[in-house]
Amino acid sequence: MKKKVINTLQYIFFLGLGIFLLWLSARNLSPENRRYLTDALKNANYRLVLPAMLLLMVSHYIRALRWKILIRPLGHRPSANNVFFATILGYFFNLLVPRLGEVMKCTILARHEKIPADKLIGTMVTERVCDFICLVLIIIITVFIQFDAIHQYASAQLNSLMYDGRGRFRIYKIAAIFGILAVVVIVLAGLARVFATSKFVRSIKKILKGIMTGITSIKHLENKWLFLLYTFSIWMLYLLSIQIGFYTMEAVSHLGFKAAFSILSFGSLAMLATQGGIGAYQYTIQKLLPLYAVAEGPALGFGWILWIAQTGIVIFTGILCLLLLPVINRSKYEIPGINP
């Protein structure tokens, strides 16, 4: 009962945060940018959203094939269809309740392929570690290929933090920030020493150990090069879907792979901030694209288009998988010699 209450409160919090960010992104728009937003959404070429959604679906299928490689050392060879259905339904249920998708993903495949669910959870650790490393690499590439632009943007944000509207240095604000950070570090260090043997600290250590195990387990895979190729393909398809998305709106049609790398980097982080990325994703794109000479109005509209493409394909294929899963696996539950 307590766990259900916590999950419900967590869901309400992240959904509420997303709605707040949506309101904030619209509230801060000038009348001119609001007109840009309306015009951009009205005149967008939504037919090109379909190819972007198709690329995303292909990336999900490749992700399922990559998961199959991780499952093989367990002594099981599940069908590609069931692994794909479970992968899509993992994304689908994550839209409903935070972290439910990972549990359902393993549960669904365990039920239809007779694989112990606890063993599948171990493969999830390896997958998440691999994706985390890839995201870090994407962020590094993003900074490397456009250091000047990002440095200029970061400097502007830092200046706005350090100086007020009259150009006066805000030493009190900087001192307060560093003071708070110092207190947080000291408190955390003290708690880590005091509760070194507590259940919470042991859980953190277990997670870190699982991450290291996930990293080292990749080199023991039978098809590690195929695993790496699938991983590379997944992230390249993400980039291509964003690049195709640029052609849906005239205001962003001039953007290239540098902007696509930035959207993939910061957009991926934003998707983790709220339920399904709602609000946080749109707000991030709105604040990011002015770096590439795109007004905040069209930038917000483009953020909506990308979010709809990513979420729409998950909802559509998720519902389809729910309907097809029992049909595809019907023969596994029929009694030999008896017609259903």
Q: What is the pTM of this model?
A: 0.74
CA angle (264, 267, 268) in 5-degree steps: 80
Residue 160 CB partners (closer than 8 Å, separation 6+)? none
The pLDDT tens digits for 206-244 are 656 655 655 555 666 778 889 989 999 999 999 999 999
Q: How far apart are CA 166 and CA 107, in angstroms?
A: 59
Q: Which two tokens stand for residue 323?
A: 């309907």
The pLDDT tens digits for 267-305 are 888 888 777 777 788 888 888 888 888 888 888 888 888
Pick the closest to residue 318 from 112, 111, 57 (CA basis). 57
Residues, the chain: 340
CA atoms within 13 A on the CB side of 163: 10
Q: How far apart are CA 240 and CA 232, in angstroms?
A: 12
For CA atoms 293, 298, 303, 306, give the dihedral sign.
negative
Pick the closest to residue 120 from 57, 158, 76 (CA basis). 76
Report the share of the chain in percent with pLDDT over 90.
14
Pick the closest to residue 227 from 72, 31, 21 (CA basis). 72
Lowest-confidence segment of 78-82, 178-182, 301-305 by average pLDDT: 178-182
pLDDT score of 277: 78
Pick the closest to residue 288 from 270, 307, 311 (CA basis). 270
Pick the closest to residue 19 from 283, 269, 264, 309 (CA basis). 283
